Amino acid sequence: MNSWDAGLAGLLVGTMGVSLLSNALVLLCLLHSADIRRQAPALFTLNLTCGNLLCTVLNMPLTLAGVVAQRQPAGDRLCRLAAFLDTFLATNSMLSMAALSIDRWVAVVFPLSYRAKMRLRDAALMVAYTWLHALAFPAAALALSWLGFHQLYASCTLCSRRPDERLRFAVFTGAFHALSFLLSFVVLCCTYLKVLKVARFHCKRIDVITMQTLVLLVDIHPSVRERCLEEQRRRRQRATKKISTFIGTFLVCFAPYVITRLVELSSSVAIGSHWGVLSKCLAYSKAASDPFVYSLLRYQYRKSCKEILNRLLHRRSLHSSGLVGDSHSQNILPVSE
């Protein structure tokens, strides 16, 4: 194993560690907080988190073993199962992010009727659709025997070894990425750009009201006026950064792998094995970034994390005080006797 392989293996190990801890923490927050569970987005977050955990404990270790051993890391049946899960979980992750963007679009564009438009039942139907959509392509690939170990990515995924099926496999791969990656990307762009447009409109209305108030308050200190104007600029920048983060992480993580899969279909273009594994690692890194992008940086999740931490520390303090009390009583008993 050369230095490139060692670096890629280290990247995979780091991604696995961050993904496992962060997604487990999101799951703990969902189990701990009833306020979070009552909201419709909790179903989308739960679906995304469970998928990320499955990918972390099943697919990433096999890819790590493939990178280290430079060959198929398991038997054919296990590899086909891993390839089925890899295709299903990647599609489910993309569609879950699209579902979350639709939820935020409804919340921003229809704030007064959000609870009526996005109930838990509606969220459950959307999750059921993402599962059916995500299951369709790996099921078809399994029936066509297009699942197995792909040396370029050192992982069990979509692949075809028969030259006479090259055209059919190319059409299948193109349709798969069009109805998973491209569809989710279009939904993300349409919904979040609409959210940004509405947010900026509301910011402008607030700015107008603020400026009218500042004009009326002629005796206001210049520093206070500057702080109000600065807060307006920060509000606009905050909305733009959030939207850029949602769309940017999706593109950075998934686009290199999808483009590589499509370029690979052309026999005239040679792709280095290290780039293939790196693009796969970038796709896996989405599982590590999702908890921070969609959950852990939000107020409700941060509050839930603090409550969990305080409860653990409180139990530990009670346990330690109980041990101290026991030892103290043991020291006193002989004297009392």
- What's the pLDDT tens digit per position in 237-285? 777 888 899 999 999 999 999 999 999 887 777 788 789 999 999 999 9
**Is the pLDDT confidence value at 128 over 80?**
yes
Which pLDDT belongs to residue 278? 94
Give Cα separations from 183 to 79, 143, 175, 251, 300 (angstroms): 28, 24, 11, 13, 30
Cα–Cα distance between 317 and 263 in angstroms, integer?
A: 58
Which pLDDT belongs to residue 230? 67
Do residues 284 and 60 touch, judged by C-beta distance below 8 A? Answer: yes
Directed axis angle between helix 41-54 and helix 120-143, to 10°?
Answer: 30
Which pLDDT belongs to residue 245? 92
> What percentage of the chain carries pLDDT values higher than 70?
83
Which pLDDT belongs to residue 297? 86
More confident residue, 170 or 209: 170
Average pLDDT, integer, range 302-328: 73
Give Cα separations from 207 to 123, 150, 204, 212 (angstroms): 35, 55, 5, 9
Which pLDDT belongs to residue 335? 41
Cα–Cα distance between 236 and 204 in angstroms, integer?
A: 9
* Structure confidence at residue 324 as a pLDDT band (50, 70, 90): very low
Closest-CA residue to 45 (of 101, 119, 96, 121): 96
Which pLDDT belongs to residue 333? 42
More confident residue, 75 or 132: 132
Give the pair of three-digit tokens for residue 20.
């496992």
- State the SS3 of 128-169: HHHHHHHHHHHHHHHHCCCEEEECCCCEEEECCCCHHHHHHH
How large is the greatest C-alpha to C-alpha distance in the chain, in angstroms?
Answer: 92
**Is the pLDDT confidence value at 329 over 60?**
no
Closest-CA residue to 67 (of 24, 23, 16): 16
* Lowest-pLDDT choice from 115-119, 127-131, 255-259: 115-119
More confident residue, 333 or 115: 115
Average pLDDT, integer, range 173-191: 95
Cα–Cα distance between 188 and 105 in angstroms, integer?
A: 10
Which pLDDT belongs to residue 132? 96
Give the ranges where 152-272 is alpha helix by DSSP (H).
Answer: 166-177, 183-216, 222-264
What number of H helices and E strands is found in the chain?
A: 12, 2
Cα–Cα distance between 189 and 195 in angstroms, integer?
A: 10
Instruction: Report residue 168 CA to chain centroid gap.
Output: 31
Do residues 25 and 296 touch, judged by C-beta distance below 8 A? Answer: yes
Which pLDDT belongs to residue 150? 92
Expressed in angstroms, the distance from the first to the final Cα of the chain is 70
Domains along the chain with CATH numbers: 3-301 (1.20.1070.10)
* CA dihedral of residues 281, 15, 193, 27 (deg, nearest 10): 140
**Is the pLDDT confidence value at 43 over 90?**
yes
**pLDDT, the chain, mean:** 85
Closest-CA residue to 262 (of 136, 175, 156, 133): 175
- What's the pLDDT tens digit per position in 191-228? 999 988 887 776 665 555 555 555 555 555 556 556 66
